[in-house]
Amino acid sequence: MTEVLLRAERLGRKLEGDVPVTLVHDIDLEIQRGEFIAITGPSGSGKSSLLYLLGLLDQPTSGRLWLEGVETSSFDEDRLADIRLARLGFVFQANFLLPEFSARENVQLPISRRGKLDEPAARSRVEDLLASLGLKEQADKLPHQMSGGQNQRVAIARALANDPSIIFADEPTGNLDTAASAVVQTILKDLARKQGHTVIVVTHDPSFAAQSDRTIRIVDGAIA
Amino acid sequence: MRTVLVDVARRHLLARKRQTLVSLSGIVLGTGFFLAISAMMQGSEADFIHRLIDNSPHVTVQDEFRNPRKQPVAELYPAALVQMHRVKPETETRGIRNYKQSLDYIREIPGIKASPVLLGQGLVSFAGKDEALSLNGMVPSDVEEVSTIGSYLTEGSLRDLAGNPDGILVGSELARILSLERGESITISATTGQKHTFKIVGIFHTGRAAFDQSQVFLALKRVQALLNRPNRANEIVIKLADPYSAQAVAARIEGRLGYKSVSWQEASEDIMSTLALRNIIMYSVVTAVLLVAAFGIYNVISTVVMEKQRDIAILKSTGFHARDIQVIFLTEGLFLGLLGCGLGLPLGAGIMWGLGQLNFKFPGTTQFNRMPIDWGWEQFAIAGAFALIAAVGAAWLPSRKAAKVKPVDILRGAGA
Ligand SMILES: Nc1ncnc2c1ncn2[C@@H]1O[C@H](COP(=O)(O)OP(=O)(O)O)[C@@H](O)[C@H]1O
Ligand SMILES: [Mg+2]
């Protein structure tokens, strides 16, 4: 029993300007709930741009996008933000934690913003997430007091904070050494395989892409 | 959720302690000086008006008309063109006609105290020197009610004046120049050739040298006799329970009696407009001080916004609204404003206290005065409100800019 979570139809993103640039061109795509998708392609091919569109961070200039059956292209910025907060989680390449906040506080931020859990429930959720990612000892540390791999795990915990439908990760191991990369890759894979999350990862690493359910290859902004 | 935004704002500032402190000291000084200067200016203005109200009649009914009276022939032929040359004022009958009847009417107005006055000129000769005097002929038993001269008496009392029909109050300067003391006699001559000898029953000292030298107070009846003007008064002076009703009362009296009736506000119109101008200048200056402080705040918050592009992108991609971002940076302005008030108002109070300790001499006075300071809560409220408005206003533009940040622009730039 499959359920289409995300559907794109001729999705496109152009930048207007003196020299118009096409970032993403006529993408048709269907992603099922629980799928583990890898997006690959050469540098500058438009992988990130596609991810921003799928993750409702950016709005398409053409085509349509359905999330859980709801067409989103007419939604305003605040509505998209609310969807991101409740249903989507993001992990970026590196250094995307708030530097003045501890690991625990960074993870708690989206929960507090959403305001659905009371204070004790929110706190215990944060502790559970940190523990499950092996960050119990790091909870009180600031980002600069942790390694790159630990930072990236905090970012994953934060992405999971509001129990999203989809996790988007844009080259999450791009700045990590081999050992830390392996840990982060295992975590993302387990989120899909063991916990049933839908995970969409942009990666340059062929061996990581090989472990996915499906690899989408992008060249010049289009599916190759 | 509010607390999250406030927390982010707080940490942004705490992460930049030095910059924050510099901009904070700006707003602290701005608030402090705003408060101190405005309290001093308002204090001196209030003190000035207070003295004005105390020391001058609230309304003076004068023996003249605001506009020349219509000639009977003009009233008879209102449609005609009447031209008359050399209309001569009735010098003989100058003075308020039937002032006793006028007084009866005026005294019916509630909260009013009124008394007739005959003003005139006199001379006193002493050791070959002539001193010109302004004679204030008053009803001795009324003096206390319509004049503050009693409170300036350093010797004698108003009761002595009432008790002695030939009594006179003289100023300290006159007494000094003529080597006069209480109990001594003084002979005053008028332009009519009349002369009369008075007994000094009191000496007053107002601190205004010219006043203390030239003014004397004596019984109305004696002045009428000296000036050959029996049963006349040329002014009715009025004190009101509510000095601020003076304009209305003056208009009412003038409407009824026809005599020009001047409220204290009208009498000191030039001073009042000077005070208003002074206020405009003062508020411009202190607002400029706060504006400079506001630039400091603008500066620090702009810097934070520039440095925090990535954090803004993180928050927005997580699902924070543009409004949330704006609230964060406005809160930073509000924090600086509140801290600025919290430290600036006590600083201002300190300066006010210091100024209040100073003694100084007004020009034209002979005694030292304390700087009058307005300690009213309104002063604190105005300074605090200006500081808050300046701080939040300074945060407005950067906060708008922050709210407009598009997360993908930052994410792309970061090479993610
Ligand atoms: N603001 C922009 N102006 C012009 N070109 C841009 C802009 N942002 C991205 N691009 C270009 O668009 C293309 C796609 O970028 P991106 O989606 O980041 O590719 P990838 O993630 O696959 O490396 C790249 O060639 C990039 O240089
Ligand atoms: Mg990319």
Which pLDDT tens digit goes with each residue over B318-347?
A: 999 999 999 999 999 999 999 999 999 999
Asked if the C-beta of B14 comes within 8 angstroms of chain A's C-beta atoms, the answer is yes
Question: N- to C-terminal Cα distance for chain A?
Answer: 28
- Coil vs helix vs strand at B242: coil
CB–CB contacts below 8 A, A to B: 77
Interface of B with A in 299-338 (CB under 8 A): 310-311, 314-324
Tell me the CA–centroid distance for residue B141 and ligand 1, in Å: 98
Chain B: closest CA distance from residue A203 (Å): 11
pLDDT bin (cut points 50, 70, 90) of residue B313 is very high
Closest CA to A91 of A160, A33, A177: A160
Task: Report CA(A15)–ligand 1 centroid distance (Å).
Answer: 10
Secondary structure in 3-state letters for A6-61:
EEEEEEEEEECCCCCEEEEEEEEEEEECCCEEEEECCCCCCHHHHHHHHCCCCCCC
Q: What confidence tens digit (pLDDT) does each residue in B130-142 have?
A: 889 999 999 988 8
Burial class (CB in 10 A: 0-12, 13-18, 19+), B19: middle
Query: Residue length, chain B?
Result: 416
DSSP state, residue B91:
G
pLDDT band at residue B357 under the 50/70/90 scheme? confident
**A80 C-alpha vs ligand 2 centroid, how far in Å?**
22
| pLDDT of B356 above 90 | no
User: Residue B36 in contact with residue B352, Cβ under 8 Å?
Assistant: yes
Q: What stretches of B93-212 adopt beta strand conformation (E)?
A: 112-126, 129-138, 153-156, 167-171, 185-189, 195-204
Calculate how close chain A gets to B312, using CA atoms only, in Å.
9
Longest Cα–Cα distance in chain B: 108
pLDDT-derived band at B415, boundaries 50, 70, 90:
very low
Which of A39, A109, A144 is the best residue to mutate to test the B interface, defined by the most B CB atoms within 10 Å of its own CB? A109
Mutate to test the interface with A, among B12, B20, B310, B318 (most CBs of A within 10 A): B318
Domains defined for chain A, CATH in brackets: 34-59+74-213 (3.40.50.300)
Nearest CA to B398 among B335, B321, B341, B328? Answer: B328
Whether A136 has a pLDDT exceeding 70, the answer reads yes
| Nearest Cα residue in chain A from B5 | A113
Quick check: CB of B412 below 6 Å from ligand 1? yes
pLDDT tens per residue across span B368-383: 777 888 899 999 999 9
Q: Which of residues 62-101 of B touch A (CB under 8 A)?
A: none
Pocket probe mutation, ligand 1, options A14, A15, A16, A23, max atoms within 8 Å of Cβ: A23
Interface contact A96, partner B, CB < 8 A: yes
The reported pLDDT for the residue numbered B366 is 64
Instruction: From residue B45, give the alpha-carbon distance in Å to each of A162, B295, B380.
Output: 62, 31, 17
**Residues of A with CB below 8 A from B3's CB?**
112
Cβ-Cβ contacts under 8 Å for B340 (sequence gap 6 or more): B24, B27, B28, B30, B31, B293, B387, B391
Q: Is the CB of A40 under 6 A from ligand 1?
A: no
CA–CA gap between residue B144 and residue B139 (Å, rounded): 10
**Looking up tokens 């001058």, which residue turns up?**
B56
Which pLDDT belongs to residue B372?
85
At A54 the pLDDT is 96
Q: Hey, CA dihedral for B27, B28, B29, B35, is it positive or negative? A: positive
User: pLDDT tens digit string along A22-73?
Assistant: 999 999 999 999 999 999 999 999 999 999 999 999 999 999 999 999 999 8
- For A113, the closest of B4, B311, B408 (CB atoms) is B4
A42 lines ligand 1 (CB under 6 A): no
Residues in B closer than 8 angstroms to A171, CB to CB, are 416
CA distances (Å), origin B196, targets A171, B188, B189: 113, 6, 7
pTM for the whole thing?
A: 0.77
Strand pairing class (B215-219; B129-138): parallel
Residue A1 distance to chain B (closest CA, Å): 31
Residue B358 reports pLDDT greater than 90 = no
Within an 8 Å CB–CB cutoff, is residue B2 touching chain A?
Answer: no
> How far is the alpha carbon of B25 from chain A, nearest alpha carbon, in Å?
24
Ligand 1 pocket residue status of A203, Cβ below 6 Å: no
CA angle B39, B41, B45 (to 5 degrees): 115
Q: Say how far apart CA A49 and CA A168 lie, in whole Å.
A: 12
Chain Cα centroid distance, residue A130: 18
CB contact under 8 A, B4 and A112: yes
pLDDT over 80 at B225, yes or no: yes
As for the ipTM of the complex, it is: 0.94
B201 and B168 Cβ atoms separated by less than 8 Å: yes
What average pLDDT does this structure show over B276-304?
Answer: 88
Say how far residue B291 (Cα) sits from the centre of its chain: 27
**Chain A contact present for B17, CB below 8 A:** no
Residue A202: the pLDDT is 96
Dihedral sign for Cα atoms in the order B275, B281, B286, B290: positive
Q: Best mutation site among B408, B409, B410, B412 for testing chain A: the one with the most A CBs within 10 Å?
A: B408
Whole-number average pLDDT of chain A:
93
What atom of ligand 1 comes closest to residue A46's alpha carbon? 17
Contacts of B322 in chain A (CB under 8 A): 77-78
| Statement: residue A220 has pLDDT above 90 | yes
Residue A141: is its pLDDT beyond 80? yes
Q: What is the 3-state secondary structure (H, E, C) of chain A?
A: CCCEEEEEEEEEEEECCCCCEEEEEEEEEEEECCCEEEEECCCCCCHHHHHHHHCCCCCCCEEEEEECCEECCCCCHHHHHHHHHHHEEEECCCCCCCCCCCHHHHHHHHHHHHCCCCHHHHHHHHHHHHHHCCCHHHCCCCHHHCCHHHHHHHHHHHHHCCCCCEEEEECCCCCCCHHHHHHHHHHHHHHHHCCCCEEEEECCCHHHHHCCCEEEEEECCEEC
Backbone angles phi, psi at A63, to 5 degrees: 85, 180
B225/B343 Cα distance (integer angstroms)? 67
Q: What is the pLDDT of residue B416?
A: 42
Q: Provide the pLDDT confidence category of residue B53 given band limits of 50, 70 and 90.
A: confident
Q: Is the CB of A49 under 6 A from ligand 1?
A: yes
Has residue B91 got a pLDDT over 70? no
Evaluate: CB of A219 within 6 angstroms of ligand 1. no
Tokens 């109990």, located at residue: B183
* Average pLDDT rounded to a whole number, residues A84-103: 92
Q: Higher pLDDT residue, B168 or B101? A: B168
Which tens digits make up the pLDDT trace of A65-93? 999 999 998 899 999 999 999 999 999 98
- pLDDT of res. A95: 73
pLDDT in tens, A113-134: 999 999 999 999 999 999 999 9
Local confidence band at B74 (pLDDT 50, 70, 90 cut-offs): confident
Predicted pLDDT of residue B364: 61
The overall average pLDDT reported for chain B is 88
The verdict on a CB contact (< 8 Å) between A93 and B414 is: yes
**Residue A21 CB less than 6 A away from ligand 1:** yes
> Distance (Å, rounded) from C-alpha A99 to C-alpha A48?
24
pLDDT above 70: percentage of residues in chain A: 100
**Ligand in nearest proximity to the CA of A39:** 1
Identify the band that residue B97 occupies on the pLDDT scale cut at 50, 70 and 90.
confident
Total residue count of chain A as it appears in this document? 224
Q: What is the pLDDT of residue B267?
A: 87
Give the span between the Cα atoms of B155 and B257, in whole angstroms. Answer: 39
